Amino acid sequence: MKSRKRTPRIVVRAWREEDIPGIVECHRAAYPEYPKNAYYTERYYDMQFAAFPEGQYLAEVDGVIAGYATSLIVQLDDDAHWYTYEEITGGGTFSTHDPSGDTLYGAD
């Protein structure tokens, strides 16, 4: 008799503030080659969540955070050729979030 493989429970949902420590863990697991001082801290994710909670999502597998997405809305100048990540995201803080902007920017 063959045993059935259990299908993992996958949930995609908006973040909650209490998810931030798990998001930090996920970030570190996703980018193991980064130097320790390059990782975002809980404070960065707190600021991102405060700026635009509706734009922050995560995926859970069996209740464990397996991935996340961050985004913000910005106003981009059509005449500019490019922007850096730092310019668009306000250094990762999302201080540049503009609810009336014209572009949803996927930051991470």
Mean pLDDT of 64-90: 92
Q: What mean pLDDT value characterizes the chain?
A: 93
**Structural domains of the chain in order of their starting residue, each with its CATH number:** 10-106 (3.40.630.30)
CB 72 within 8 A of CB 48: yes
**pLDDT over 70 at 57, yes or no:** yes
Structure-model confidence comparison of residues 39 and 3, the more confident one: 39
CA–CA dist 29, 25 (Å, integer): 6
The amino acid that residue 83 corresponds to is: Y
**pLDDT over 90 at 81, yes or no:** no
Residue 1 has a pLDDT of: 62
pLDDT digits (tens, 9 = 90+) for 5-53: 889 999 999 999 999 999 999 999 999 998 888 888 999 999 999 999 9
